[in-house]
Amino acid sequence: SPRTYRPVSHPTVRRAADDVKQILSRTTSTKPDVPPLRYLGDRQLMQPQPPVTADEVSSAAFQARLEMLAKAQIKYGGIGIAAPQVGWWARVLHFGSEEPNPRYPHADLVLPQFWINPTIVEASNETNWMWEGCLSVPGMRGWVERPRKIILRGLDGNGCEIEASLSGLAARVAQHEHDHIDGVLFPHRVPDPRFLVPQASM
């Protein structure tokens, strides 16, 4: 029978954000260090990543890596981060923050959330353009077109099946990070090399 996915309504997003805080507040003797970033040109970064098995999600080692990923996003100052960017070769994302991101002061707040094995199951025909940057492509910006709305389906940090309708900045960040787990970086999305520019020129 078809699976029923829990829609990510505002209260569910709030619970997901609380789950992130709980993971970050844990005190264990096996806290992993935050690894260095991987950059454009890294062979493994630019490969599709393998899915996570259901049994892995509940393991202490996996939960510790979730904690590491969220802390890596904070350490490196991103609005989102994908596991491969710190050398974790898995289909795992984290994006959002409890506080507004200074790079996007007028955007709606995107609460923190984990996505495991995410799949974009629907995308709008309506698109928008935005200058994107990336922790793995430092100092550069690219003019990238993406669908304005998407439906994302996958597992949360506890291994529960969820589905979310995302729009605006949340949809763009989710798509950007989803690209990472397929080995795609934003320069691959730029329609013309003239629209790939140094951040210092903006």
Is 99 considered catalytic here?
A: no
* C-alpha to C-alpha distance for 32 and 30, rounded to whole angstroms: 6
Amino acid at 53: T
List the catalytic residue out of 67, 132, 163, 177.
Answer: 177
Contact (CB, 8 A) for 114 and 16: yes
**How does strand 6-7 pair with strand 161-167?**
parallel
| 140 close to 197: Cβ distance less than 8 angstroms | yes
In a 13 Å sphere around the CA of 81, the CA atoms on its Cβ side amount to 31
126 contact partners, CB below 8 Å, separation of at least 6: 147, 148, 149
Residue pair 37/77 in contact (Cβ under 8 Å)? The answer is: no
* Catalytic center residues: 177
